[in-house]
Amino acid sequence: MQLGFVVSNATEKMEIAVCNEPGSDQNIIKVRTTHQGAWSPWMRIDVHRKGNDDHGELDAVVYEASVAKTAKTAQAAQSLASPVTITFTGDISGSFSFDGLDPSVQCKISGVQSAINTAIADHEKKYHSYSPGDAY
């Protein structure tokens, strides 16, 4: 696998991977999901057209992608079945949710300046403070 990431909600996960096609130097994109904790088989989701003059039919190896036959189906496939929320806790806090429909996601977090100020103060205290009698 060259690149991969996992998206999860409270109960289920989805893993997307970019990797080399076996026996080839082409990259492929594949996905798998969990249902009640059990992983599904990997499903290839990229689409390669045949190179001959066959009116653009799909290769058999990517038949899974043929379910996106209409723009409506493709648009519905972009949204997630359950919205995903990412939450930051600790020195900073904030959260955001996304459902796949809006391509722009923003997250407002708080505590960043305080965390930076604390880190700088700790650094200055440890490495830049001098008291009479300290060795150089």
Instruction: Kindly list the domain boundaries of the chain, sorted by start residue.
Output: 1-46, 49-77, 84-128
| pLDDT tens, position by position, 95-115 | 888 777 776 777 788 888 887
CA torsion 100-3-40-97 (nearest 10°) is -30
Strands 27-35 and 43-44: antiparallel
35-42 average pLDDT score:
90
**How far is Cα 43 from Cα 31, in angstroms, rounded to an integer?**
5
| pLDDT tens, position by position, 46-77 | 765 555 445 555 555 444 545 545 555 655 65
8-37 average pLDDT score:
84
Q: Helix, strand or coil for residue 87?
A: strand
Which pair of structure tokens corresponds to residue 121? 């103060």
pLDDT higher than threshold 50 for residue 29: yes
Radius of gyration of the chain (CA): 24
